[in-house]
Chain A
Amino acid sequence: MVFLLQQMMLYAVPLMIVALAGVCAERSGVINLALEGIMIFGAFMGVVFVRIFQGAGMTQDQGQLIMILAMILSGICGILFSMLLAFSAINLRADQTIGGTALNMLAPAIVMFFVYMIVAQNTIGMAQGGAAGWFMIKPSTFGHPKGYSYGAIGDFFLNKVYLTTYICILIFILVSVFLYKTKTGMRLRSCGENPQAADSLGINVFKMRYLGVGLSGFLAGIGGFTFSLTTANMTSNGDVAGYGFLALAVMIFGNWTPLNIAGGSLLFGLFKCISATYSTLDINGDGVFMLNEIGISPYVYRMLPYLITLIVLAFTSKNSRVPKAEGIPYDKGMR
Chain B
Amino acid sequence: MPKKDPLTGKIKWYKSEGAVAVYSALISILIGMAVGAVIVVIAGLSKANISGAGIAEGIKLVFLGVFSTGRNAAGQLTFGFNAVNLGNMLFRAVPLIMTGLSVAIAFKTGLFNIGAAGQYLMGTMGTLSVALWLGWAGTPKALAWICAFLVGVLLGGLWGCIPGLFKAFFNINEVITCIMTNWIAANLVTWWFDAHEVFKNSQQGGKIGYVIPLKNVGVVTPKLLMDKIFAGSQANGGFWIAIIIAVAMWIMMTKTTFGYELRACGANRHAAKYAGINDKKNIILSMAIAGCLAAAGASLYYLSGNTEFYWSTYQKLPAEGFNGIPVALLAANHPIGVIFSGIFMSMLNVSGIQLKYLTAYNEYISDIIVGVIVYLSAFSMLFKTMLSKRIKSDHGNVNAEPAPAAVEEKAPGDTDGKTEKGGQK
**Which residues from chain A sit less than 8 Å from chain B, CB to CB?**
33, 84, 88, 92-95, 97-99, 101-103, 105-110, 112-114, 116-117, 239, 241-242, 245, 248-249, 252, 297, 299-300, 302-303, 306-307, 309-310, 313-314, 317-318, 322, 324-329, 331, 333-334
Contacts and interface: CB of A to CB of B under 8 A. Distances in A.
Contacts of B314: 299, 302
A195 B72 CA distance: 63
Given A117-B362, A297-B195, A303 B183 contact: yes
Contact of B184 (A110, A239, A303, A322): A303
B394 interface: no
Interface of B: 39, 43, 47, 112, 114, 166, 170-173, 175-177, 179-181, 183-184, 187-188, 190-191, 194-195, 314-316, 322, 325-326, 329, 361-362, 364-365, 367-368, 370-372, 374-375, 377-379, 381-382, 401-402, 407, 415, 417-418, 420, 423-424
A113 B62 CA distance: 14
B401 A306 contact: no
Most buried by A among B191, B195, B407: B191
Nearest to A87: B379
Contacts of B43: 113-114, 117
A113 B364 contact: yes
A318 B166 CA distance: 12
B42 to A, nearest CB: 10
Contacts of A307: 180, 184
Contact of A303 (B47, B188, B315): B188
B173 A252 contact: yes
Given A105-B326, A310-B166, A331-B424, A98 B374 contact: yes
Contact of B415 (A103, A239, A322): A322
A101 B325 contact: yes
A327 B176 contact: no
Nearest to B377: A98
A94 B172 contact: no
A97 B175 contact: yes
Contacts of B370: 105, 109
B176 A94 contact: no
Contacts of A107: 371
Nearest to B407: A334
18 contacts: A88-B379, A102-B375, A103-B371, A110-B368, A112-B362, A113-B39, A117-B362, A245-B180, A249-B179, A252-B173, A300-B191, A303-B183, A306-B184, A313-B176, A313-B177, A314-B170, A318-B170, A327-B415
Contacts of B420: 328, 331, 334
Contacts of B179: 242, 245, 248-249
Most buried by A among B170, B180, B314, B424: B180
A196 to B, nearest CB: 10
Nearest to A245: B179
A117 B364 CA distance: 10
B374 A317 contact: no
B191 A299 contact: yes
B180 A302 contact: no
B368 A113 contact: yes
A114 B424 CA distance: 43
The secondary structure that dominates the A interface is helix
Given A95-B418, A105-B374, A310-B181, 16 more contacts: A88-B375, A92-B379, A97-B175, A102-B371, A105-B325, A109-B368, A110-B368, A299-B188, A306-B181, A306-B184, A307-B180, A310-B166, A310-B177, A310-B184, A318-B170, A328-B415
Contacts of B379: 88, 92-94
Contacts of B374: 98, 101-102, 105-106
B378 A334 contact: no
Contacts of A113: 39, 43, 362, 364-365, 367-368
Contact of A109 (B177, B329, B367, B417): B367
A164 to B, nearest CB: 23
A102 B362 contact: no
Leading 6 A-B pairs by shortest Cβ distance: A109-B367, A106-B371, A102-B375, A328-B417, A299-B191, A102-B374
B399 to A, nearest CB: 9
A98 B329 contact: yes
Contacts of A94: 378-379, 381-382
Contact of A245 (B176, B375, B418): B176
Contacts of B315: 241
Contacts of B171: 317
B55 to A, nearest CB: 13
Contacts of A93: 379, 381-382
Contacts of B402: 333
A285 B172 CA distance: 41
Contacts of B194: 297, 299
Contact of A97 (B112, B326, B382): B112
Nearest to A309: B180
Contact of B183 (A92, A109, A306, A329): A306
A245 B378 CA distance: 20
A116 B170 contact: no
A185 B195 CA distance: 52
B372 A106 contact: yes
B184 A333 contact: no
Most buried by A among B175, B177, B362, B364: B364
B254 to A, nearest CB: 23
A36 B423 CA distance: 34
Contacts of B407: 334
Contacts of A249: 176, 179-180
A281 to B, nearest CB: 19
A79 to B, nearest CB: 17
Nearest to A244: B179
Nearest to B169: A314
B371 A109 contact: yes
Contacts of A299: 187-188, 190-191, 194, 314
A300 B382 CA distance: 46
A324 B374 CA distance: 27
B50 to A, nearest CB: 9
Given A105-B374, A113-B362, A313 B368 contact: no
B193 to A, nearest CB: 11
Nearest to B329: A98
A95 B378 CA distance: 6
A105 B43 CA distance: 20
Nearest to A327: B417
B375 A252 contact: no
Contacts of A245: 176, 179-180
A302 B326 CA distance: 29
